[in-house]
Amino acid sequence: MSDLSPQAPLVAIIEDETPIRKFLRAALVADGYRVAEAGTALAGLRLVTQSPPALILLDLGLPDRDGKELVAEIRGWSDVPIVVLSARDQEAEKVAALDLGADDYLTKPFSVNELLARMRVALRHHVRSPLAGNAAGATVYQDGPLRMDLLARRVFLDDQEVKLTKLEYDLLALLVRHAGRVLTHRTLLKEVWGPDAVRETHYVRVFVANLRKKIEPDPARPHYILTEQGVGYRFRDSGPGTHE
C-alpha cells in the first residue's frame, strides 16, 4: 500500500489482463484512490466481501465466470457502484450487465479522463440522498439555456417555458436525475412506461426525438440527450468535476 490516507475511497479492480490492471492501478492511485486487485471472478468476490470497496471496476470477460453473473450476485447483497469494462464485441453483454444493476460501462480502450469521470458520476449518484432532486442534492437543473425545476415539474429554455406531456416530462426528469449516467432502453421503459413495456424500444426513440425538438438548441446535434448506440441514453453531466 502507498502512503495515502485510509479515508481515500477503495476501488476493487476485477480484471484478468495484467497490463490493464496495471494501467488502472496507476491511474487510480495518481487520482487519490486506494486500489485492491483481483484477476478472477472468484478472487474478486472474495476481495469485495472481505474489504467492501467504494466502487468496483469489473471486466466482463473473466476466465472463470461470466462478469454478468458477478453483477447479479453482488447486487444480491450490495448496492456498491459497479462500472463494467467491456470489449468492443461485447455489446449485448454490456447491456445485460447494466440491466442487471451495473451503474455504467467503459468500452476498451478508454482514456484515463473517461475512466475518472465515469467513476466520479457513479460515486456521486451513490451518495445522493433518495429525497434529493438530483446528484448534487439540488432540485433545479441548469445547463446553458436549459433550466428544469424538478419540484415544480417545469422546464424552461432561455426563460421560455417548454410545454411537455406527462410522459415526456417523466422521461426527461429520469434522465436529468441520473445526469452523466447511461440509462438502458429497458430501464427507461420500465421506469416511465411500466414493466409491461420493456420491449417497446421504439417508444423511447420517438419520445427522445420529440424531447430533442423541444429542448435541444439544435436537435440534429444533441447537446443534452446523448445517444449511447445500442445501449440507451445519457443526459449530459453538468455536475462538479466533469471533463468534456
Say if residue 109 is preceded by a cis peptide, omega within 30 of 0. yes
Least distance between Ca ion and beta carbon 83 (Å)? 15
Spatial separation of the C-alpha atoms in residues 189 and 183, rounded to whole Å: 10
Q: Which of 59, 93, 99, 237 binds Ca ion (CB under 5 A)?
A: 59
Q: Which of 235, 153, 165 is nearest to 203 (CA)?
A: 165
Q: Which of 126, 104, 127, 128 is nearest to 116 (CA)?
A: 104
Spatial separation of the C-alpha atoms in residues 122 and 221, rounded to whole Å: 26
Cβ proximity to Ca ion: between 21 and 212 the closer is 21
User: What is the spatial order of strands in the sheet that 10-14 belongs to?
Assistant: 34-38, 10-14, 55-59, 82-86, 104-107
Least distance between Ca ion and beta carbon 60 (Å)? 7
Cβ proximity to Ca ion: between 61 and 222 the closer is 61
Q: Which of 8, 16, 66, 145 binds Ca ion (CB under 5 A)?
A: 16
Cβ proximity to Ca ion: between 61 and 145 the closer is 61
Contact indicator for 153, 84 with CB cutoff of 8 Å: no
Least distance between Ca ion and beta carbon 16 (Å)? 5
* Cell numbers given for 16: 484478468
Q: Which of 61, 145, 219, 222 binds Ca ion (CB under 5 A)?
A: 61
37 binds Ca ion (CB under 5 A): no
Least distance between Ca ion and beta carbon 195 (Å)? 33
66 binds Ca ion (CB under 5 A): no
How many residues in the shown chain lie near Ca ion by CB under 5 A? 3
Contact indicator for 181, 232 with CB cutoff of 8 Å: no
Stretch that binds Ca ion, among 14-22, 107-115, 190-198, 208-216 (CB under 5 A): 14-22
The residue ranges that bind Ca ion (CB under 5 A) are 16, 59, 61
